Amino acid sequence: MKYATLAVHGGLKDESHQAVTYPLYLSSTFIQPDSEHFQAYGYSRSANPTSASVEKLVADLEGAKHAFATSSGMAANALVFELLEEGDRVLISSDVYGGTWLFTTQLFAKRGIEFEVVDDFNTYDFSKAPANTRLAFIESPTNPLLTVMDIRRVAAAAKARGILTVVDNTFLTSYLQKPLDLGADIVVYSATKYYAGHSDLLAGFVVLNDDTLYERLRIYSKALGGILDPLDSFLVSRGIRTLPLRMDQHNRNAERVAEFLSSHPGAEKVFYPGRRDHPGRDIQAKQASGSGGVLSFRFNESEYDLDRFVKSLRIFAFAVSLGGVESLICRPATMTHESYSPELQQKLGITRNLLRVAVGIEDPEDLIKDLEDAFAAAKR
């Protein structure tokens, strides 16, 4: 089946009642047939039918063998980081989600794990990575500066040194990009975003092919208990049914908004991989079928008042997150990447006038008019 068909018809099938929608199993425990035989489901922390259905659906959409559904995107990251042991070293992109950075800087040290910040994975020399390097963690495009990583190049170079490559693919989903096909070992998602798509739940996914890694992660998942509950599993499955339609509209709208901002004096610089002036555009076009619904831009504070701009927006909401049907704007320096030190923010370019835009699925003319009106109200 093609992707859009699989999004509607994938997952487990209800064999008992032939329900069109896979049932919601809210039970925490399941009756076993006898003292010697045990069915696939015993206790929902280990496995639940509804959760198993969305896991199969996500794995199938990725073209992968295995998937774990977790209670949030950070729970997905935390599960993967359980593969590390004391003395291991992690390579991590300098431009990553603030929660990932918080985990790296606050929890790795107490676990005896080292990390190295890599400014540009596209030119990083893996042959010089220390012998204890076990994992490379990247995003592409990155959050919030939309830097594009050459996933195939990074994965191949890492694999040659026995280093696992983990890709956070939240911005694009498997509809637009499949890191496993590009050589990555593990893909993680904040399914809170595009997979669920409606800003009404928290969820995460870990997707992979390696059977040995899967067995290790399965034990860690059972021990940690950070699983996705059945109701949210059901809701994510429902969201995925419209994922291709939504992603197409997010992508189209983001292209329109990026084009508008690039020609408006209120935006000093626009960051979006779909633009011709983006340095990673060629790589993006090679490894993905779109650029997604997120962009960022530097607000021109010399000519416009940022606070008045934000307060004048009527359709765009000033809030964190992304991937819902509604359009959002946030300031990463104080809202999503506040765990970065001021010095690191300055070095990376996460300035106080950088705004991240999560473009929703509304009519693009309305979105552009909202921005135009807000700029007009904010003119100094």
Full DSSP string of 83-149? T--TT-EEEEESS--HHHHHHHHHHTGGGT-EEEEES-TTT--GGGS-TTEEEEEEESS-TTT-PPP
Same domain, 228 and 257: no
In degrees, rounded to 5, the angle at the alpha carbon of residue 290 between the alpha carbons of residues 207 and 294 is 85
Same domain, 259 and 227: no
DSSP bridge pairs for 135: 90, 164
Q: How far apart are CA 22 and CA 10, in angstroms?
A: 10
Same domain, 106 and 235: yes
Same domain, 320 and 266: yes
Which two three-digit tokens encode residue 369? 């008019």
Same domain, 203 and 311: no
Structural domains in the chain (count) = 2
- pLDDT band at residue 50 under the 50/70/90 scheme: very high
Q: How far apart are CA 31 and CA 14, in angstroms?
A: 18
DSSP-derived pairing of the beta strands 89-93 and 133-139: parallel
Coil/strand/helix, residue 328: strand
pLDDT in tens, 246-276: 999 999 999 999 999 999 999 999 999 999 9
pLDDT in tens, 297-311: 999 999 999 999 999
CATH number, domain with residue 92: 3.40.640.10
Same domain, 218 and 139: yes
pLDDT at 138: 98
205, 240, 275 — which closes off a domain?
240
Residue 326 has pLDDT above 90, yes or no: yes
Residue 323 has pLDDT above 90, yes or no: yes
Q: What share of the chain is helix, strand, coil (3-state, %, to 5)?
A: 40, 15, 45
pLDDT at 132: 98
Same domain, 251 and 236: no
Same domain, 105 and 226: yes
CATH number, domain with residue 354: 3.90.1150.10
Contacts of 216 (CB under 8 A, 6+ apart): 83
pLDDT in tens, 9-24: 999 998 888 899 999 9
Nearest Cα to Cα of residue 210 among 237, 246, 228, 186 = 186
Q: Which residues are known to be catalytic?
A: 45, 97, 168, 193
Same domain, 254 and 335: yes
Same domain, 207 and 308: no
Range of the domain at 306: 243-378
Same domain, 23 and 140: yes
Coil/strand/helix, residue 380: coil
Same domain, 283 and 308: yes
240, 269, 285 — which closes off a domain?
240
Phi, psi dihedrals of residue 338, rounded to the nearest 5°: -70, -15
Whole-number percent of the chain with pLDDT over 70 = 100
pLDDT in tens, 132-190: 999 999 999 999 999 999 999 999 999 999 999 999 999 999 999 999 999 999 999 99
| Omega prior to 141 cis, within 30 of 0 | yes
268: exposed, middle or buried (Cβ count in 10 Å: 0-12, 13-18, 19+): middle
240, 273, 293 — which closes off a domain?
240
Q: Which amino acid is at 288?
A: A
Q: How far apart are CA 179 and CA 190, in angstroms?
A: 15
pLDDT in tens, 71-123: 999 999 999 999 999 999 999 998 899 999 999 999 999 999 999 999 999 99
